[in-house]
Structure 1
């Protein structure tokens, strides 16, 4: 059974990082593209956010004996297979894992247009991930 303190802690991190990213949305694309410090802050916050989702998925997958396990994408897939998150959320968070890998390992140059667009258009998927996991946990562990 998933540990309430671990789930709560990881959900709190997802919430905090998502909120931080929302606060970084205020500038125009031109301002964002010319501010390396803000770019780095956004990228690092995305990496932390996505890693928190992976860590949470890993904990739930292991504690609930779900399959598959292994890669970060498979940890997210296991939550979809276990009906903990929806298929749409699963697919978007799996994409985010690939995005995190690009940011963390700098495969080629980071496309700042993609980061800016993700910042403005895709945070809702992290909110859905958080909501779906929280609903599952409340329903099956209280």
Structure 2
């Protein structure tokens, strides 16, 4: 059974991290690329945001007895397969999981231009994920 407290807590974290990232927007790419403190703040917030999405997906997958667990991408895939999130949101969130692995484990050098672009053009996918899960949870509780 899905634990309401866990779902609400993870949705709150996703919202907070998303809002934090929105506040970090607006600087020029040149300023971002040359400011290691800002880079670290953005990267850490992105990692926390993506991990919160994974944790939420994992909880729902396990509680709802969806497909077997596996990788973090499989946790996201389970929500897509169950119709909780759209195919497009699923694909973007799976990409985010790979991106988190790059940031967290420093596979090669982090491309700060890419991180800047994610900050300015991809944050809405996390909002889509959050809204879809919240809607599913609300609809589920209503029945």
What is the TM-score when the length of structure 2 is the normalising length? 0.98
Moved more, 63-72 or 101-110: 63-72
What is the match of residue 27 of structure 1?
27
Aligned pairs for 1:62-73 within 5 A: 62-73=62-73
Give the unaligned 5+ runs of structure 1: none
Partner of 1:2: 2
Alignment gaps of 5+ in structure 2: none
Measure the CA separation in 2 of the matches of 1:3 and 1:26: 37
For residues 43-82 of structure 1, what are the structure 2 equivalents within 5 Å? 43-82=43-82
Shift of 1:26: 2.0
1:57-92 Cα shifts (integer Å, max 9, x gaps)? 000000000004110000000000011100000000
RMSD: 0.6
Query: Is 2:100 aligned against 1:100?
Result: yes
CA-to-partner distance for each residue in 1:15-67, whole Å, 9 max, x for gaps?
Answer: 00000000000211011011000000000000000000000000000000000
* Distance in 2 separating the partners of 1:122 and 1:85: 16
Q: Does 1:133 align with 2:133?
A: yes
Normalising to structure 1: TM-score of the pair? 0.98
Count of aligned pairs: 142
Q: Aligned partners of 2:49, 2:110: CA distance in 1, in Å?
A: 17
Q: CA-to-partner distance for each residue in 1:92-137, whole Å, 9 max, x for gaps? A: 0000000000000000000001000000000010000000000000
- The answer to whether residue 110 in structure 2 is matched with residue 110 in structure 1 is yes
